[in-house]
């Protein structure tokens, strides 16, 4: 079985400051990892995904994430946030060979003007 842990439920950050949203996973098999963003009253939008290859993954809206197998982490980063980045962010994992996506509990990013 796999699990995903998002260590921070809320992260306030000033506009134009950098941000890191933390995600750890556990799985007995290889996994695919994802970050999704959810704006209020909307569905999920894929930010980026790690399947294999380079451990640094670049996504939309200037976000990137780094897969660290030894630390079982997949933290999301952005060097300079904007007001429009205010949303909830979900880390997710899929174990190889299965299609059930396991989500973390989410991190609410609040960008302060």
Told to check if 32 binds other proteins by CB under 8 A, we report yes
Told to check if 101 binds other proteins by CB under 8 A, we report yes
Told to check if 74 binds other proteins by CB under 8 A, we report no
Nearest CB to other proteins, comparing residues 63 and 104: 104
Told to check if 77 binds other proteins by CB under 8 A, we report no
Cβ density class 36-51: b for 16+ within 10 Å, e for less: bbeeeeeeeeebbbbe
Q: In whole angstroms, how far apart are CA 92 and each of 12, 18, 82, 96?
A: 22, 22, 23, 13
Q: Do residues 78 and 62 lie in contact, with contact meaning Cβ atoms separated by under 8 Å? A: yes
Told to check if 39 binds other proteins by CB under 8 A, we report no
- Closest contact distance (angstroms) between CB of 39 and other proteins is 11
């Amino acid at each position: 079985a796999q699990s995903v842990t998002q260590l921070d439920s809320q992260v306030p950050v000033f506009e134009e400051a950098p941000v890191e949203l933390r995600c750890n996973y556990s799985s007995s098999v290889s996994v695919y990892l994802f970050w999704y963003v959810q704006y209020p009253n909307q569905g999920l939008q894929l930010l980026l995904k790690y399947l294999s290859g380079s451990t640094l993954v670049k996504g939309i809206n200037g976000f990137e994430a780094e897969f660290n197998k030894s630390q079982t982490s997949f933290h999301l980063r952005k060097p300079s946030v904007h007001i429009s980045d205010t949303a909830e962010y979900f880390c997710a994992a899929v174990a190889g060979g299965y299609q059930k996506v396991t989500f973390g509990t989410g991190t609410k990013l609040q960008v302060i003007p």
